[in-house]
Structure 1
Amino acid sequence: MPTVASPAASARAVEIIGVPLDLGASRRGVDMGPSAMRLSSLVRHLERLGCAVRDTGNVPVPDRAALPPVPGAFLQAITAVCADLARRTADAVRAGITPLVLGGDHSLAAGSVAGTATALHERGQRLGLIWLDAHADLNTPDTSLSGNVHGMPVAHLLGLGDPRLASLSHATPAVRPEHLVYVGLRDLDDAEKACIRQLGIRAFTMRDIDERGLRAVMDDAVTIATTGTGGVHLSCDADWVDPQEAPGVGTPVRGGATLREAHLAMEIIHDAGALLAMDLVEINPILDAGNATAELAAELIASAFGRHIL
């Protein structure tokens, strides 16, 4: 069946920004995620929707072998990458362009979301954040059991954790707890559970999706992220989808979203008409088969940007 572009998609300018970052993860390979996405059908899907696509290349990321073997070196390097990315996403949103950030590990969202928040802050508005992920990524350097920074971006966007990484946005904090919503959680540390309860963050687990259905959960998520905000940043970790559908991820957790649930979530976000920026992260081609996960990600992005079945 042919793809039909919606009017909103036809007028959309999209800037692809690659972030080959693997410093936040212990498992190697996600630095090749942007290349895998570029080899997929992503641009073709977006152009068929009428989007004007411009690929601005990759944010420079230092080689981990070149970093000094001292405590905090990775965090400092990630902060520098995120600061660069924040400038790029802010510039795009200011210009009315939708930044599409391809990762790389999820620590990059501390920069991409901060940039979108900065652009809205300049308009006197706050940012809504929808976080599709198996994990909450809500640890700080003090609470993390692994020390991996890709498990910390949300904490820093809320103004917690390392002051340098938490202050990349002109908005303070980049995201307020009442404007953040999780969808698809199923693997959390005890400290993250406590933080969610303490801050009153809305978090929909896979049990919520099982019991209520994806439609009801996503309707609530969109309402939370759009109430009192100027728009939504969507940050999607490929591992929110079940590993049977998305095997090429570094931290797979069984029991995730099905293929149709994942597409429906994206379609609902598009229909809300509030999407300002999007991340698609944590694709690891080393663990994939025939670039299948990157192709799935390209199709999900297309749904978020307006592709419909009919």
Structure 2
Amino acid sequence: MTTPLVSIIGVPTDVGAGRCGARMGPEALRVAGIVKAIARFGAEVRDCGNLSGPSNPELPAINGFRHMPEVVAWNRSLHAAVHVELEEGRLPIILGGDHCLAIGSISAIACHCRKTGKKLQILWFDAHADFNTATLTPSGNIHGMPVACLCGHGPAELTRIGGTVPAILPHQIRQIGIRCVDAGEKRFLAEIGIEVFDMRYVDEVGMRATMEQALAGICPETHLHVSLDLDFLDPEIAPGVGTTVRGGPTYREAQLCMEMIADTGRLCSLDIVELNPALDRRNMTAELAVDLVESLFGKSILMRMHQ
């Protein structure tokens, strides 16, 4: 069995968010021990340090977008960095930063999959659908728009970062844990046809059945990307995020999600975003994130003799 080659890329910015603080996320995750945690599972981990980019100007929205030049700069930089690691056959883990960064990471991953003939599947764990546009958004915060931009709905500066528009197709992404969606966004999601497993669905069928459906169709040719927004989790266990929404998954439900992904053996890239240490309690959200990453890399309560 080959040794997994993992690259950690820190992206310390909150230019896409409504509240400052996510720029401190990468260091909080390192303090919580993310590098050692992954290495314990036999991976060779390279910490690439943090990318650099423009600071947060904390300005109001212009034409429906806040901080567009800064968001573009950070995402172009991340696109390039992720591309380099994928070309070297490594598994990139992006430490955010806010969720606008998924435009850069996923557009690079989509490019790589087109080039290598891999089948891209994205699991988007989030309390929010992040499918806003300038006309739908009440805030102009671009961390509420990455899925729309990746699907080709947004300004050219963001939709064209990967060179192909749209970067991804709706059937390539499945959203889990959603429980806060704007009215216009809800209609748009239904129109585009993105598969959304919201919290009511999880409540009705359970997390195991939800994940079985979300993981359906994964095969040896699949590049599985996980985009984990920590506000996916219930704020009782993960208070350190900028936009908490009550009624999220429990600790065990979240662990089950990660364990079932690990069982596929197909994880090829990961975003961890929206950690805001300024709002956390004793780094508990960062430590929980590391705990979930351990499960993604194979930690289980018992060595399972049968599935």
Q: Classify the TM-score, shorter chain.
A: over 0.9
Superimposed CA distance per residue, residues 44-66 of structure 1 (whole angstroms, 9 cap, x where no aligned partner): 21111011111111111211239
**Alignment partner of 1:127 is 2:120:** yes
Superimposed CA distance per residue, residues 91-146 of structure 1 (whole angstroms, 9 cap, x where no aligned partner): 21222111000111100001011111111111234421110000000001222111
Structure-1 separation of matches of 2:209 and 2:134: 35
Q: Percent identity?
A: 43
User: Is the CA contact (8 Å cut-off) linking 1:117 and 1:170 kept in structure 2?
Assistant: no
User: Is the CA contact (8 Å cut-off) linking 2:234 and 2:247 kept in structure 1?
Assistant: yes
Q: Choose from 50, 67, 70 the match for 1:58.
A: 50
**Alignment partner of 1:165 is 2:158:** yes
SS of 2:70's partner is helix
**Alignment partner of 1:261 is 2:253:** yes
TM-score in terms of structure 1 length? 0.92
Structure-2 separation of matches of 1:65 and 1:231: 36
- Shift, 1:176, TM fit: 0.7
**Alignment partner of 1:47 is 2:39:** yes
Structure-2 separation of matches of 1:188 and 1:233: 23
Structure-2 separation of matches of 1:93 and 1:263: 26
Structure-2 separation of matches of 1:163 and 1:65: 22
- Shift, 1:165, TM fit: 0.4
Match of residue 81 from structure 2: 88
**Alignment partner of 1:78 is 2:65:** no
| Superposed counterparts of 1:213-292, under 5 Å | 213-223=206-216, 226=218, 230-292=222-284
In structure 2, the CA distance between the partners of 1:260 and 1:66, relative to structure 1 (3 Å rule), is: closer
In structure 2, the CA distance between the partners of 1:156 and 1:70, relative to structure 1 (3 Å rule), is: closer
TM-score in terms of structure 2 length? 0.93
User: Is the CA contact (8 Å cut-off) linking 2:66 and 2:140 kept in structure 1?
Assistant: no
SS of 1:231's partner is strand
- Shift, 1:235, TM fit: 0.2
- Shift, 1:273, TM fit: 1.7
SS of 1:64's partner is coil
Q: Quick check: 101-110 or 115-124, which moved more? A: 115-124
- Shift, 1:67, TM fit: 8.2
Match of residue 305 from structure 2: none
Structure-2 separation of matches of 1:22 and 1:223: 34
Match of residue 12 from structure 1: 4
Structure-1 separation of matches of 2:209 and 2:178: 16
Q: Quick check: 163-172 or 16-25, which moved more? A: 163-172
User: Is the CA contact (8 Å cut-off) linking 1:142 and 1:161 kept in structure 2?
Assistant: no
Which amino acid is the alignment partner of residue 267 of structure 1? E
**Alignment partner of 1:142 is 2:132:** no
- Shift, 1:229, TM fit: 6.7
Structure-2 separation of matches of 1:171 and 1:273: 28
Q: Choose from 275, 281, 301 the match for 2:293.
A: 301
In structure 2, the CA distance between the partners of 1:22 and 1:66, relative to structure 1 (3 Å rule), is: closer
User: Is the CA contact (8 Å cut-off) linking 1:91 and 1:119 kept in structure 2?
Assistant: no
User: Is the CA contact (8 Å cut-off) linking 2:123 and 2:227 kept in structure 1?
Assistant: yes
**Alignment partner of 1:200 is 2:196:** no
Structure-1 separation of matches of 2:239 and 2:286: 10
Q: Choose from 211, 214, 232 the match for 2:204.
A: 211
Superimposed CA distance per residue, residues 221-258 of structure 1 (whole angstroms, 9 cap, x where no aligned partner): 1115x379731111010011100000111000000010
In structure 2, the CA distance between the partners of 1:161 and 1:68, relative to structure 1 (3 Å rule), is: closer
User: Is the CA contact (8 Å cut-off) linking 1:129 and 1:175 kept in structure 2?
Assistant: no
**Alignment partner of 1:188 is 2:177:** no
Structure-2 separation of matches of 1:140 and 1:303: 34
Structure-1 separation of matches of 2:58 and 2:139: 22
Which amino acid is the alignment partner of residue 26 of structure 1? G
Structure-2 separation of matches of 1:266 and 1:254: 21
SS of 1:26's partner is coil
In structure 2, the CA distance between the partners of 1:70 and 1:135, relative to structure 1 (3 Å rule), is: closer
In structure 2, the CA distance between the partners of 1:69 and 1:196, relative to structure 1 (3 Å rule), is: closer
Match of residue 3 from structure 1: none
Match of residue 151 from structure 1: 144
- Shift, 1:39, TM fit: 0.5
Structure-1 separation of matches of 2:52 and 2:171: 33
Structure-1 separation of matches of 2:131 and 2:219: 22
